[in-house]
Amino acid sequence: MTKSETKKGTSAASVVAGKSSVSAGEQQQQQQQQQVDNETMEQTGPELVRPKMMMKQTSKESLHRKNTESEVYDDGTNTFFWRAHTVTVLFILTCALVYVTLLEETPQDTTYNTKRGIVASILVFLCFGVTQAKDGPFSRPHPAYWRFWLCVSVVYELFLIFILFQTVHDGRIFMKYIDPKLGVPLPERDYGGNCLIYDPDNTTDPFHNIWDKMDGFVPAHFLGWYIKTLMIRDWWMCMIISVMFEFMEYSLEHQLPNFSECWWDHWIMDVLVCNGLGIYCGMKTLAWLSMKPYQWQGLWNIHSYKGKIKRIAFQFTPYSWVKFEWKPASNLRRWLAVLGIIFMFLLAELNTFYLKFVLWMPPEHYLVLLRLVFFVNVGGVGMREIYDFMDHPKFHKKLGQQAWIVAAITVTEFLIVVKYDPHTLMLPIPLSIIHCWILGFILIVSWTLWRFFIRDITLRYKETRKRKQEAPLGNGSTPTGRSKLNGSSQLGHGQATKVLRRGPGLGLTQDQRD
């Protein structure tokens, strides 16, 4: 053995010895601290120890939060792209207003001036919001991008409020100011009819029923559920919402004709093929995002062109990643919150069909597509803010701004549907559908009562009974107490003496032992 190996062996032995001595010292300190805690509990009761228990609970929540978040490395480069440009935006906006006021001649068309004035007001508000609004949880590709969609949310909610306060006739006529083609009642397409997968009567194309269903909504279903999976980040919740929406279509096909679909269109094309494939691809993307290293460098700190191109592409990926663990069965608050999220998702999905039905918009109109694009951009931020509010309520003490405005938009859309066409909503529901929904409601309420009330009360009763059986006895001795006292093989001499010297009410005294 060489001298260097001898030194390494000696140093390793000393380190091991040091660790053993430290661990022995830590064990002794833990035992002393446990004795002090027990004496404090006996003298003062559990009230004074409760803050320490709350601190432990808080540390557990923080540890859980840390385990679900990815580690991020950032060199802190702050380029022109990331700096605030409030003065620059204000200068450009002022120049535009000066040009319109002094150099441009105002047309004499009242309708044109009204439209342009509304658009200019919206643009000024968007400029203010993009530069001054509070940042949300997302920062890629740029925080200003998400501030822009927050301001668009406010504008859309104000538009919905305006439509809500109009009469049904005036509200539908107002849509003509947006597009002259609107304001005309359109027949809904019936997706039911002949539900044969193979039609022998059609010798030219026996599978014509399948090809007839292959419209633009098939890729829209796949892409929509791929994005929804990235928002919710949970396979079970996505599948529940997907299946529940098909049940909603079954339940409401007597109100909207396009809810009437063939059985294989509901469960094979929608749930299994389009929705299922979108959810699968979304979960694979989530797995990649959770394993991806989040190391950010400034573009000018990267020397190779390949690295620069890769850095530009990754600018459109998340800055960090948080794995969503909803845990609906952990407590009643989270269970009710998850039920509320599922309900709002289903309501937003139904609003897509009912809004275009009551406002007379064809399914292929660009306003329907813009609404979907809008929810794609604001839904992810809203879900992240809801999860933060549920998972870390001591840090996030109020619901996020984007989640708040999305919830308000969903409710306002539903109120417009209720006001503009109450007759359709009040059509009698088939009795079989009513029985199914009553049965589902009873099952949910029964499981909630059992899981969070009956089960908890039973477990608390069993735990209390077990503690009473294992607790030390009071004054006087019983056979159980004598058997525990005489069990010298289980208790050391010092421990037995300590039990004997506790005094009246906590064990036997010295006189009773003699």
The reported pLDDT for the residue numbered 465 is: 85
> Residue 435's Cα: distance from chain center in Å?
31
Name the DSSP class of 426. Answer: T
Joined together, the tokens standing for residue 198 give: 């193979």
Q: What is d(CA 101, CA 120) in angstroms, rounded to the nearest whole number?
A: 13
The reported pLDDT for the residue numbered 15 is: 38
- Residue 453 burial (CB count, 10 A): 11
- Residue 242 burial (CB count, 10 A): 22
Please choose, from the candidates 168, 151, 214, 46, the residue with its C-alpha nearest in 3D space to the C-alpha of residue 417: 168
Answer for the pair 196, 263: CB distance below 8 angstroms, yes or no: no
Joined together, the tokens standing for residue 414 give: 């539903």
The reported pLDDT for the residue numbered 35 is: 54
What does 325-377 look like in DSSP terms, one character per residue?
Answer: ---TTS-HHHHHHHHHHHHHHHHHHHHHHHHHHHTT--TT-HHHHHHHHHHHH
The reported pLDDT for the residue numbered 353 is: 92
The reported pLDDT for the residue numbered 260 is: 79
Cα dihedral value 404, 159, 151, 111, nearest 10: -170
Provide φ and ψ at 55, rounded to 5°.
-65, -40
Q: What is d(CA 370, CA 200) in angstroms, rounded to the nearest whole number?
A: 41
Q: 10-residue block means of pLDDT along the chain (514 residues)?
A: 42 41 48 50 40 45 64 79 87 94 89 92 95 92 94 97 95 91 76 67 70 74 93 95 92 86 83 92 94 86 89 90 91 93 95 93 90 95 93 81 96 96 91 93 95 88 85 53 42 44 43 41
The reported pLDDT for the residue numbered 483 is: 43
At residue 334, what is the residue type? R
Determine the straight-line distance between the first and last CA of the chain, rounded to whole angstroms: 64
At residue 488, what is the residue type? S
Joined together, the tokens standing for residue 325 give: 């663990």
Residues 163-185 as b or e (16 or more Cβ within 10 Å = b): beeeeeeebbebbeeeeeebbee
The reported pLDDT for the residue numbered 91 is: 95
